[in-house]
Amino acid sequence: MKTANALLATQALTLRAGTRTLVENLTQCFGAGEIWCVAGANGAGKTTLIATLAGLRAPAAGHVEIDGMALRDWKPVQLAQRRALMPQDVRDAFSASVLDIVLLNRYPHLAGWGWDSDEDRAAAHAALAQLGLEAFAARDVLSLSGGERQRVALAAVLCQAAPLLLLDEPLAHLDLHHQIACLEALRQWVRVDARSVVLSCHDLNLARRYATHALLLDGRGGCWAGPVRDVLTAERASEAFGHPLTLIRDGPHEALVPALGHAAFSLHTDAAHER
């Protein structure tokens, strides 16, 4: 597979957790202008995959490339200028203003004595504004709710100004209004220059609406990858999640919803997985 124009690529990537194979022999390119949703049931390997793509976890086999170069060949600061990671659990160990928390992600761009510049502060304010958080700049991060802290974490990775964002459950703790606002912000962000987003998400309908592509993990090493509406189908999602789903339509709108007869389906899929 050609990787010359890909921001991110995997080459024969295999991931394991103990004796379980989560992803096997995945070769895939993630290009500029694309928003990829990593989907799958709990324990399917979404967090493991994103950590591996970020270079925080070694694969069992294969490798990851950014800009056509293997992760192992990147220097840490240069890598941080090219990819930003938002982990699933964001915890604050000390009191600090929201602005200062966002400014921490400017570290890869600091020079000289390491003090943030007017440009860095402008980037932080711009990132907060993208998510409607301008009024939060002076707030103590420890005073925020879980949803507010999640939005601040997303602002921080936007502030890092890396063209590749790896986001592990960025919509967690958010109500529907803020989920959509964050996805709209990512959609606008990815349209500038050569940028790409890979995020994990449990809401298949939001993924079908905002992602351009999807990577659906079945939890047994297999996966489907491609344009989002080709991957997140009722048939494939039912198999991956072990629960029957059906696609309903209302004019131009579509939604995946639970189907009837799920008890029989679950017994059938559980028996199939045991074989």
- Give the DSSP H or E segment for 254: strand 253-258
Residue 177 has what pLDDT?
Answer: 95
233 in the same domain as 214: yes
Q: Is the pLDDT of residue 167 over 80?
A: yes
The three-state (H, E, C) secondary structure of 104-162, written as one string: HHHHHHCCCCCCCCHHHHHHHHHHHHHCCCHHHCCCEHHHCCHHHHHHHHHHHHHHCCC
CA–CA distance, 184 with 130 (Å, rounded to integer): 10
Does residue 1 sit within a domain? Answer: no
Please tell me whether residues 235 and 247 are part of one structural domain.
Answer: no
d(CA 146, CA 8): 30
CA–CA dist 36, 58 (Å, integer): 21
Task: List Cβ neighbours of 8 (8 Å cut-off, separation of 6 or more).
Answer: 29, 30, 53, 64, 65, 66, 83, 164, 196, 198
Q: Is residue 207 part of a domain?
A: yes
12-27 residue pLDDT tens:
999 999 999 999 999 9
Rounded to whole angstroms, how far apart are CA atoms 77 and 111?
A: 11
Domain tally for the chain? 2
145: Cα separation from own chain's centroid = 21
Share of the chain above pLDDT 70, in %: 92
pLDDT at 73: 97
The span from the CA of 223 to the CA of 226, in Å, is 10
Give dist(CA 16, CA 22) in Å, integer.
Answer: 5
Q: Which of 32-41, 58-67, 111-120, 233-242 has the lowest mean pLDDT?
A: 111-120
77, part of any domain = yes
Q: Which class for 255: exposed (0-12), middle (13-18), buried (19 or more C-beta within 10 A)?
A: middle
Residues 15 and 71 in one domain: yes
Q: How high is the mean pLDDT of the chain?
A: 91
Same domain, 125 and 152: yes
pTM of the model: 0.91
133, two tokens: 């958080």
Same domain, yes or no, for 160 and 40?
yes
Q: Using one digit for the tens of pLDDT, what is the confidence trace for 184-239?
A: 999 999 998 889 999 999 999 999 999 999 999 999 999 999 999 999 999 999 99
User: What pLDDT is stored for residue 273 in this prediction?
Assistant: 42
* Amino acid making up residue 250: D
**Residues 231 and 247 placed together within one structural domain of the fold:** no
Range of the domain at 269: 242-275
105-135 pLDDT per residue, tens: 999 998 766 788 999 999 999 999 999 999 9
